[in-house]
Structure formats: C-alpha cells, structure tokens
Structure 1
C-alpha cells in the first residue's frame, strides 16, 4: 500500500509543541517575542513533524544575533565613513548591532560572507561591493538559506536584488554639462577602475553629455585611474604628455581629482586658470582643498540610513515577502572654485 501521509502543517507543529498556531507563527516571524523554552519546543516540533524543515528552522534562528553584516570593498577608503556611521545609527535605533567585513583581502569574498551568516553571527547582509558573483550571492539569498540582502552604493545590474543606489550616470551627465555650460569643448575624463560598475556608469554619463552637446569624446583624453589619490597624481604626468590638452576634466571621484590637481600644480598648471576640474562624492576634504573642488555630492548619510532601514524592514518581515526594491537617490552639483568659464 502506498504511503499517503499528508504534508505537515503549522497545526501539526502547534499540536506537537502544545502551543497555539499563533505562537508557532510568532516563533517563526519574531522569535525575540517568544520565550527560549517555547522556541525550543517549536523547533523540536518542526524537526519531528518535518514541517518545511530547512526554512522554518532557519527562521527560528533568524534575528537571534540581532546583527546586520555590512560588507564593503576597502575599509581604508574614507568615502565609506559617513555611510557606515549612518548605518550604525539606524541599526542602533532599531535595536541591532553592526558587523563589518572588509572584502579587500582577496577573491574569497562570497565564501567569507557565508562564514559570517551560516555561523549565525549576523542575520542579514548589507553589501556595498558590486564586484561579487551574483550566483554566489543567490546561494545566500534563496532557499534554503534565504538571508535578506540589500545592495547599496555599487549596483549589481539585472540580478534581482534589493538595491539602494545613487544616480551615478545622471549625476555624471550633470557634472559634464556644467563644464560644457562654462564654454568648454575639449573635456577629458579621469576614469575609474575598468571593472567597477560605478566607474562604468559615470563614464557612460560623461560620454552621453558630450554627445548630447554634439561633442565626440577624444579617446586620448580618457585617462584610466583607480579611484585613489595616487592614481590621480600619476594621471597628471600623463596629461602633460598630450600634444593637445583638454581645458576641463571630469574626474570619476574626489580622491583622484585632488591627486590630479596636486600633480598639475607641480607641473605649473593652475586650476581654474589653466584647467577646470569636477570631482564626484563631495568628501569632506573637497571643500577645504585649494582651490575648493566643484563636485557631485552623494547623499551618503541618507543612502546609509535607507539601506539599513530597508534591510531591517526585510528582517522583521522575514525577508521573503517583498518583490525587489530599487531606491535611487539624486546627487547634487556643488560648484566651488575648481571650475570657471573657458578663457577667451
């Protein structure tokens, strides 16, 4: 005779644990609201009955740490400081702790994140690095594990994850149009790292703004960098070797812009007398450098707060019921002393 046993239900779990179905539901969705003894009885009932064992058992552990994991590409980069501060403040206000993972150390990034999450040291992931393999991340975010995750700062396009981002391409267009509006037509770009999604988006915005103005980008004026000040300084030396030089440059971030300014000054090129420069991010140093840097201000505090808020909302919603959210924040052009009208 064939085995006709029915699929276990939440009612079966409740009967075995000698609690109400509401208590079982509460133990799964908000375990902190259930006593440890009751949680253990529900856990044992799930094991014995076989009620969606992997997912339900993980749900019982979920949020036990009351900690979110923030993973970023390089903790040495000052760009992340105000984002991390905002994340920490929002998490603390919601009763969560923050654990930071620095992914700069090598190519085992996804495996390191698995170690944090599978050991129950953190309940969900806030990812500030767009370079990780989407397939490896799906192992974490889909059944049987289904850890809630929010991608922030650096997009992972077409992956279907929850995202909180800034309008990098649109903002780069605005930065470049600022130079065009000042009369500049020979405009170069200090490009970010080749495989970085943010660098690609900002380069796309730069090219788009030029072409909208009827200007074809000059490949010789696209100078590769890596978002670091030293790379910007080195770019100034390459700039000096050009037979025809741009009168304005859009830099992919503030650090490379400031390094570029410093390198040009050593070569006797003064900004904005000889060249106009726009950066991106509005780091604190941008307003205090000389000349003060015109830049696109990213709303970093807002981004950090919204990213943490979104992740914690997912955790407290069990992280499984919402379609992928896509929040895009606008950048603001901050005009300072490093840009000026083209000298006639």
Structure 2
C-alpha cells in the first residue's frame, strides 16, 4: 500500500487555524489586513501542516502546469491592472503562476484559449470578458479534459459557472441618485458599447433612478460612447450639437468621463461650473484629474482575489458544483469636485 502523504494544501492550513482559505491567503500576502491573533493562528497552522508555496514537485507528479490563465478583452484598458495584480498575488501565495491572454488580438478567442490547455500550459481559466459565446465555453469545460473556469468582472447571461462581479446596476442607480440629490433634474448618460452586459446594466441603473425620481426621460440625452477616453470625446461632440442640454452626466466609466470633460473644456464648458459629471471605477487618474472626478469605486482588488481563490480551490479538489454561484461585490460612492449642488 502506498504510504506517501499528499502535500499539505491551503485548505489544511485553514482547517487547522479555523479560518477560511481567503483569510489564509490574505494573511500570507497582505498580513497587515489580518488581526494579530488570526495571523498567529495561521502561522502556527502553517508550521503544524508543513504547508509550503513550493509546489514544483506536485506539479511534476501530476503533470500539471501549476499555472492559471487570465483572459481579458483589452490589455490596454488600465481598469484591469488592479484586478490582474490581485489575481497574480493570490496565485503566487498558492504556488501558481499566471498567464495573460489578450482577447483583443486575433479571431476565434475560444479556440485560442483552448490551445493553452491542449498544450498543458495552464490548468484553469479566469475569464474577464463577458462577450464570449456561452455554448463554446460549455464545450471546453465539458471536453475530455475539462477546463476549470471562473468568470469575473463581466457576467455571462445564463451561465452556470462560478462568477464574481460588482453591483453594476444598483451602483449606477446610486450614482445617478447622487446627481438627483444635488438638485439636478436634467441628467444624461454617456453609454457604453453595444452588446456589452456591463453597459446594459449601467444603463438600466440610470434609467431606474430617473424613473424613481419621476424625472422626464430624454432619449437624446443618451450619448453613444464606450470605455475609452476618445469615445468620451465623441460623446462630448454629440452633447455640443444639442441646443437643449442636460446639466449633469453619469458616464459609463472614468476614462470616458475624462474624455468628455476635456472636450467640453476646450469648447468653454467647465465642469462642475456648467455641468456635473460622475464616472465609474475610481481609476487612479480619477482623483488627480482636474477637477477630481466623482465616481463609483469598484472593489477591483477583492474581485481579483476572490476569482483567483475560487479557481485555485477548484483545482485543489474543492469541486462541488453546487457551490457555483454569482457573487456581486458592492461599489462605493466617491464624491469629489466634478459634481456640484445646483444653486
């Protein structure tokens, strides 16, 4: 009989310390975020179990890569940087490497992703792109060698996969309500790209807030745009062509809001003197822009951490499909100088 013991896992440490695996990961990667008492218990559990981050020997025995693949829609978008950083730190603590696939490049993204797994370069996938066809995803997760998958950031409708997102619709309603509470009754929305679930949810939240406040809905104040600064500039051009203009704008994200405000300034329209603008995401540039941008802060670090932890837990044996669920993290309203009370 084979008496060899399986190497200790982070689940073993969590069990000995009587905490969650997420708490163990946090204690090892960001100890300042864990209480001294909990850190001491986890440290003792690490010593008792013999847990180590060096998983090379296990990888060789099991013919796995000990690497996870993260697929993103556009690596140029700075929004993803904090999410990727959190994923990489969580993976490193758990003894895994990270590969990044930029889905903006090339055609047939699902086939491109499949190649990583057929060549044994990755063991599982964190997908940050909600535009991927669900039928194709089901095919690669139900193949002879199924691909473990966690969806994050952009949900995919009718998906049965574990999903971690933020509260896009309710957060957008709160952002619009912020403008209403400042006394604005003429409010427009800088929309996101077509056929994008995040854009759809944020438009729904905006619309719900307008209706709830019994304000008049103006379709001409819904400006075509997207997630990039140049698309915010394009929305500003639409705004400038109007004779009847809103006094406040909820923008799909910070980058488009900054492009929008910059173009209006060039036309002599100042924010917040002439128009209030609120964005979404709280990118680093938002607090340094002139004026500093009001926004909805997404918990991007937590999102990345939870997505990576869920995938690695699955890879390490926690494969109860009944646990697959959608987690919606709450965004925070950040009030800055770009939104002003109506005088």
1:24 CA drift (Å): 12
Residue 231 (structure 2) aligns with: 231
In the alignment, is the contact (CA less than 8 A) between 1:148 and 1:319 conserved in 2? Answer: no
In the alignment, is the contact (CA less than 8 A) between 1:69 and 1:100 conserved in 2? Answer: yes
1:163-190: CA deviation from partner (whole Å, max 9, x where unpaired): 0100000000000000011111110000
Structure-to-structure mapping, 1:106-117, within 5 angstroms: 106-117=106-117
Residue 327 (structure 2) aligns with: 327
1:290 CA drift (Å): 0.6
Alignment CA distance shift 1:23-1:321 (3 Å): farther
1:319 CA drift (Å): 3.9
1:96-153: CA deviation from partner (whole Å, max 9, x where unpaired): 0000000001331000000001111000000000000001111121242221110000
Residue 133 (structure 1) aligns with: 133
1:237 CA drift (Å): 1.5
1:230-282: CA deviation from partner (whole Å, max 9, x where unpaired): 11112111101112000000000000000000000001001111100000000
Residue 208 (structure 1) aligns with: 208
Alignment CA distance shift 1:144-1:23 (3 Å): farther
Structure 2 unaligned regions, length at least 5: 8-54
Residue 336 (structure 2) aligns with: 336
Distance 1:326 1:142 in 2: 20
In the alignment, is the contact (CA less than 8 A) between 1:146 and 1:320 conserved in 2? Answer: no
Distance 1:183 1:34 in 2: 61
Q: How many residues align?
A: 296
1:32 CA drift (Å): 7.2
Residue 14 (structure 1) aligns with: none
Distance 1:25 1:335 in 2: 51
In the alignment, is the contact (CA less than 8 A) between 1:247 and 1:342 conserved in 2? Answer: no
Alignment CA distance shift 1:226-1:82 (3 Å): same
Residue 85 (structure 1) aligns with: 85
In the alignment, is the contact (CA less than 8 A) between 1:146 and 1:319 conserved in 2? Answer: no
1:223 CA drift (Å): 0.4
1:216 CA drift (Å): 3.5
Distance 1:87 1:188 in 2: 35
Residue 7 (structure 1) aligns with: none
* Residue 72 of structure 1 pairs with residue 72 of structure 2: yes
Residue 194 (structure 2) aligns with: 194
1:66-107: CA deviation from partner (whole Å, max 9, x where unpaired): 000000000011101111111110000000000000000133
1:323 CA drift (Å): 3.4
Q: 225-234 or 277-286: which moved more?
A: 225-234
Residue 282 (structure 2) aligns with: 282
In the alignment, is the contact (CA less than 8 A) between 1:65 and 1:123 conserved in 2? Answer: yes
TM-score, with length taken from structure 2: 0.82
SS at match of 1:82: helix
Distance 1:208 1:129 in 2: 26
SS at match of 2:280: strand
Structure-to-structure mapping, 1:175-190, within 5 angstroms: 175-190=175-190
Distance 2:56 2:318 in 1: 13
Distance 1:130 1:137 in 2: 11
In the alignment, is the contact (CA less than 8 A) between 1:162 and 1:324 conserved in 2? Answer: yes
In the alignment, is the contact (CA less than 8 A) between 2:59 and 2:66 conserved in 1? Answer: no
Radius of gyration: which is bigger?
1
* Residue 161 of structure 1 pairs with residue 161 of structure 2: yes
SS at match of 2:223: strand
